[in-house]
Chains A and B, each alone.
Chain A
Amino acid sequence: MRWLTRVRVSAGVWLTPFVVLIVIANLGGQEGSGEGYPLAVATRDSFNILMATGLCALAGAWEGSRLRRADVLTWPNRRSVPRILAAPWLISVISATGVAVIVFARHGALASGDSLVVVATTVLSLWVWGLAGIAVGLWFPPAVALPVSFAVPVLWLILPPASSVLWVRHLTGDWFDCCQVDQTLAPAAVTGTLTVLAGVLVAAVFAIWGRSRPVRRSVRLLTGLGVAAALTAGVVLGSLQVDRFGAYPVVPRRVSVTCTTGKLVAVCVLPEHDGQARHVVSLADTAISRWQGYGVRTPSTLTEATDVRPGSRDLAALVASATYDTDFDILTQVSQALTVAPCQARDESPADIVQRQERAQAWMVRTAGVHIDGRMDAARFGLDPEAWNWATSLMAKPKAQQGRAVNADLDYLAACR
């Protein structure tokens, strides 16, 4: 069949506008999100693009139904089954694949290894569900094949996040909650999803093989068993890889930080914050200079590195997912970095830890000597008014006494493990 004919009669081509619409509608308002971290942007784009798997499967089912009506696979063809199905499959997935590549490329997801994994898995999902749609179309009449092939991949994407079993969602390729800038996608989430996709792929191949054989009961039975076994194996083996995860399929990101040294402090940031490092150092220098004037002991390094051992008074960990867009953001992040208690890594922080932390932070932001636009109050910094009032009282006392009080709180926080 000539390509012009294929294009004229193919559902994949007719569905292109819908694919574009679905992806664009979901992309709305998300541009620039992800803190410039290509992996985070890629996972959010991936979710939107995966919504098109239903349309790929629908287009595939349409193509499969047409071939089924004409019984093409059981004709005594010289062409092999893969050769016959290649063009219908390609047409079913090409528009979604094209949109995916454009969206990913525009958001820089093709440039890094981590996000390329997301791109590859997303595109594979489109391709595998397109083939699964063809298999369904080859077996069932359009009234069944079309709605089923559209609904199954869409429901597979939508239902797991609504499930109380949190790890199931990591099998779909939708890793919307990944990742903060100090995190990366857990390899098991990728392999788990690929395992499920492999199951769907093998099931589709089984179904297509069965449809290309002369109709016999034994062939139908073997096909049914093969499809069921492939799907079950895919889901079970995939589940075994992700069932240890909670809501977030992430692991710490191992990437080197770049340090910028100021007068009093060095600031080490991940590649995503390179552009802001100089301003952060400048502001941190100003604040630390003021705090040192009170006798407060300050760290020599502020870092976003993920392998920092908590509790050191010489090295403070910046929250890597932070933004540094305004001076207010920077002051908040620096003061928080200095008041982290190691024991806060546990689920529940002792109440006195939170209280001392908020008091120290309230004092720090008010004595930093950094001018920030807008109001200066507890609510804006997310602090308890009691901590704010405590700082107000403390600031009325002599400088040395203020420094001793804050140091006492910081030592107390550092000792909480």
Chain B
Amino acid sequence: MIQPRSSTDRSLRLEGLDFAYSSTPVLRSLSCRFDGGRTVLLGPNGAGKSTLFSLLSGVLTARSGAILLPGADNAASRRELRSRVGIMLQAIAPVPGLTVAEQVAYAGWLAGLSAKRAARRAGEVLEQVDLAGKADAKAGKLSGGQLRRVGLAQAIVAEPEVLLLDEPTAGLDPAQRLRFRSVLHSIPGDRVTVVSTHQVDDITELYDVVVVIEAGQMRFTGTPEEFLALADPGSSQAERAYLSLLQTEEMAL
């Protein structure tokens, strides 16, 4: 295991991240910090949320800037990011033929655990995501909501210090969404957890911090209450706050 340089700062910090696909800039000098607890990352399509997750999970490398993992003073390498960051991808595609427990254990092995430890951890995290009863079912036979929970189990099986969830409830029906939220609630909240989503109706219940990015730049960071204060109180207040924020920025541009 790679040992980070010691630091008392337990947050995930981004310092001036730049990234572009060919000549199309996606992230522009993005700086931000994500503290322990759950942060919701908002932004319109194309804002750079998925790219940011790819950088944070070590799939892509930034052109410039640094990512500092919790407790570290130096920029993290891709290898460190892959070791210490867990990600739940938007699309969960199980390996054909594997049971749920095997699927999660395989994710653990891929994340660096020994096969034996990965199998043991798979049992533990399936309890956490309320899928212990499905451990021996074929992962390919699960419903969309159950599959998302498998994805969450895969993301946390290696006990990452940073957890990224990309659109975890997109496409789920309300019942499945509620189930997923309760599972998310049940996961210990001391690690840095960043959830990218377009669903803002439950931000006060689920999240400690709201971050909004647009066109690869930071637009807002604050508590859910500060975020909601951007709009008048009432129903759909969160959506209106979100829209109001983006419209303000558009006019400013």
Chain A positions near chain B (C-beta within 8 angstroms): 1-3, 5, 8-9, 66-67, 69-72, 74-79, 84, 214, 216, 218
Contact = CB atoms under 8 A, between A and B. Distances in A.
A218 B22 CA distance: 10
Nearest to B79: A78
B11 interface: no
Contacts of A9: 96-98
B81 interface: yes
A76 B59 contact: yes
B233 to A, nearest CB: 41
Contacts of A78: 79, 82-83, 110-112, 158
A2 B109 CA distance: 9
B169 interface: no
B110 A69 contact: no
A79 B110 contact: yes
A74 B54 CA distance: 10
Contacts of A8: 97
A234 B49 CA distance: 44
Q: Give 3 closest A-B pairs by Cβ, nearest first.
A: A9-B97, A76-B57, A78-B112
B58 A76 contact: yes
Given A9-B97, A75-B110, A218-B22, 15 more contacts: A1-B98, A2-B119, A5-B102, A8-B97, A70-B93, A70-B95, A75-B107, A76-B54, A76-B81, A77-B110, A77-B111, A78-B158, A79-B110, A214-B54, A214-B59
B94 interface: yes
A1 B57 CA distance: 22
Contacts of A5: 98, 102, 105-106
Contacts of B116: 2
Given A1-B102, A76-B82, A71 B93 contact: yes
A67 B54 contact: no
Interface in B83-125: 83, 85, 87, 89, 91, 93-98, 102, 105-107, 109-112, 115-116, 119
A5 B93 CA distance: 18
Contacts of A214: 54, 59-60
A75 B89 CA distance: 9
A76 B115 CA distance: 18
Interface in B37-80: 54, 57-60, 79
A78 B116 CA distance: 17
Given A1-B106, A1-B109, A5-B102, A76 B95 contact: no
B106 to A, nearest CB: 5
Contacts of B87: 76
Contact of B105 (A1, A70, A77): A1
Contacts of B111: 77-79
A2 B105 contact: yes
A79 B116 CA distance: 16
A66 B96 contact: yes
A1 B164 CA distance: 23
Contacts of A2: 102, 105, 115-116, 119
Q: Which of B81, B83, B98 has the most CB of A within 10 A?
A: B98
Q: Most chain-B Cβ atoms within 10 A of its Cβ — which of A3, A70, A216?
A: A70
Contacts of A79: 109-112
14 contacts: A2-B105, A5-B102, A66-B97, A69-B95, A70-B94, A70-B95, A71-B91, A75-B89, A76-B58, A76-B87, A78-B82, A78-B110, A78-B111, A79-B109
Nearest to B105: A1
A231 to B, nearest CB: 29
Nearest to B87: A76
Contacts of B81: 76
